[in-house]
Amino acid sequence: MEQTYFRRGFGLKSAIEGALAADYHSRVVDAVRQRGYVLTVGDLTFKLAREFGFCYGVDRAVEYAYETRTKFPGRRLFLVGEIIHNPHVNAKLRDMGVTCLHRPEAGEFDFGGVTPDDVVILPAFGVTAQDLARLRTIECVLVDTTCGSVLNVWKRVESYARDGFTAVIHGKHYHEETKATASQVTKYAGGKYLVVRDMAEAQAVCRYIEGAGDGGELLGQFAGKMSPGFSPDEDLVHVGVANQTTMLSNESLAIAAEVRRSMVRRYGEAALDQHFRNFDTICSATQDRQDAVTKLIAEPLHLMVVIGGYNSSNTTHLAALCQERVPTYHIEDATGIDPADGSIRYRPVGAQDVVRKVDWLPQGPVTIGVTAGASTPNNKVGETMERIAASRGASLTASLG
């Protein structure tokens, strides 16, 4: 009988290494790393964060998708959503014959066209327990690229549900990872979850825990962000905190501490273990990239350029961190920079729309910090630096010899 579920790769890395290098490698990035993460060209100095771009989980997911195409050359390949939140990587997979399935705004993925003869790739964020169950009934081949850090969060959330604790998840309720994480509570009868976006939402929950909130108002505020049949009076008595792996780590830690304080005020320190649980589920790669950019913006910089998909949670949080200290431009890729007219198209931190700015590079010597989200390949980082240099009439390729 054919094996229909794969999580550990196909041992075909040597067969796809050339394609991966051709699609994502950057000579410019290699050169900057070799020069101590600093490169000066004319009056421009680039300072690259020590940790940036593809993390292990993303690397693994992309490699596994390429291996899947090699392993099943004659099969139809489907991808549930996006493999990662990077438009170029997803476009490359489509060019390789992978069909992306999309979830409607308020609906479910349509698996109606998938047959037992097909292969379905599950993305790095994972899929909901319900979607996995639906796919298993089709009996198609499943290739699961879910990141190990995400799986660690799922284990915690499952343990909360198993022991009668509501999972309070710091995350974006509409994000595929958070949807998948929240769904893990459904594996246990009576499992409950509540998603808080930020400290303000967490404090609303904390006020209710301490007896100062209104149940109806709380249910209205968190409509669509909690498990069906959620009862604030019953489901906020025992709480376990978890987080979407790409959130700001210091905010996740602060939210957990705030919930803990409320539980102590309500039930007392001696009874805390009966009412509150928390485990560090912050992704180490997310933490490393946030730590690296925090160190970078402590240095003298004129501006920061953050490269990555606009729908990439970890990239937007890197941009938010940078904006606290230095003017920051979040661009999706190098095409946001136009050397011809000296303009940049970027999305300001906290905004939804992309704007265009002329003369964004200050006159005279400029020091530019550069980082990229965990779903941004090196070639997109290198291309961006090349375009910035071209805006000053310089060539990085020429300067590197």
Look at residue 8 and tell me if it is in a domain.
no
Say how many CA atoms lie within 13 Å of 353 toward its Cβ: 2
Q: Of 99, 118, 147, at which residue does a domain stop?
A: 147
Look at residue 224 and tell me if it is in a domain.
yes
Judge if 392 and 294 occupy the same domain. yes
Question: What does the pLDDT look like over 192-240, one tens digit per residue?
Answer: 999 999 999 999 999 999 999 899 999 999 999 999 999 999 999 999 9
Question: What does the pLDDT look like over 241-265, one tens digit per residue?
Answer: 999 998 988 999 999 999 999 999 9
The answer to whether 309 and 336 are in contact (CB under 8 A) is: no
Q: What does the pLDDT average to over 180-203?
A: 97
Q: Of 217, 248, 282, at which residue does a domain stop?
A: 282
Distance CA 116, CA 108 (A): 20
Distance CA 340, CA 330 (A): 20
Q: What does the pLDDT average to over 170-189?
A: 95
Judge if 162 and 272 occupy the same domain. yes
Q: Which residues are catalytic?
A: 177
Domain CATH number, residue 187: 3.40.1010.20
* Domain count within the chain: 3
Look at residue 351 and tell me if it is in a domain.
yes
Judge if 86 and 159 occupy the same domain. no
- What are φ and ψ of residue 64, in 5° steps? -65, -35
Look at residue 3 and tell me if it is in a domain.
no
> Percent of the chain scored above 90 by pLDDT?
92
The 3-state DSSP class for residue 166 equals: strand
Judge if 238 and 328 occupy the same domain. no
Strands 5-6 and 141-144 turn out to be parallel
Question: In terms of residue numbers, what domain contains 240?
Answer: 149-282
Helix 378-390 and helix 27-34: axis angle, to 10°? 80
Distance CA 48, CA 361 (A): 17
Question: What does the pLDDT look like over 342-366, one tens digit per residue?
Answer: 999 999 999 999 999 999 999 999 9
> Is pLDDT at 315 greater than 90 in this prediction?
yes
Judge if 98 and 123 occupy the same domain. yes
Look at residue 177 and tell me if it is in a domain.
yes
Q: Is 381 exposed, middle or buried (0-12, 13-18, 19+ CB in 10 A)?
A: buried
Strands 119-122 and 77-80 turn out to be parallel
Look at residue 1 and tell me if it is in a domain.
no
Look at residue 6 and tell me if it is in a domain.
no
Residue 396 banded pLDDT, cuts 50, 70, 90: confident
Judge if 245 and 175 occupy the same domain. yes
> Is pLDDT at 401 greater than 70 in this prediction?
no
The mean pLDDT of the chain is 95
Domain CATH number, residue 103: 3.40.50.11270
Least confident segment among 86-90, 171-175, 271-275, 281-285: 281-285
Tally Cβ neighbours within 10 Å of residue 399. 14
- What the block records as the tokens of 48 is 């690259």
Q: Which helix (H) or strand (E) holds 119?
A: strand 119-122
